[in-house]
Amino acid sequence: MPTFNAAAGSSAPEILLSIVEVVANSMNSGTLGPSTIVGSAAFNLMIITAVCIICLPAGETRTIKQKNVFLTTAAYSILAYVLLLVFVLLWTPEVVTIAESVILVICLVLLIVQAYVIDKKCESTGQ
């Protein structure tokens, strides 16, 4: 489980900052917590990916072996950002409701299940 440990360790400061801010503000979010989490996610998605691509030695290439899992994760990432925009800007402006939270948690569970099934299918077919 090294991937989980790395993800939990690198995201823990942002998540804890957001929790402390919400608790200190009588369960209302402030400006720092959510912005820190979204900024960190955007940084991880764009900057770290770009650095990993740029740092390849000249003449070397890398390939994604399990494209289906990669595409599934990418599609869910885009879906999550679009849903967040719809929720925060259109559906209930500047308020996060229980229904919105449940929808996002369901999407997370679907992502995990779908990625797992695709990963197992790739393992069994030798891809």
Reported as a single tens digit per residue, the pLDDT across 83-98 is 888 888 888 887 778 8
Say what the pTM is: 0.60
Phi, psi angles (nearest 5°) of residue 55? -80, 0
Q: Of 54-58, 76-80, 120-124, give the lowest mean pLDDT range.
A: 120-124
Mean pLDDT of 25-30: 77
Write phi, then psi, for 31 (nearest 5 degrees): -90, -20
Per-residue model confidence (pLDDT) at position 10: 66
**pLDDT 10s digits, 71-85:** 888 888 888 888 888
Of the candidates 104, 125, 102, 106, which has an alpha carbon nearest to the alpha carbon of residue 114? 106
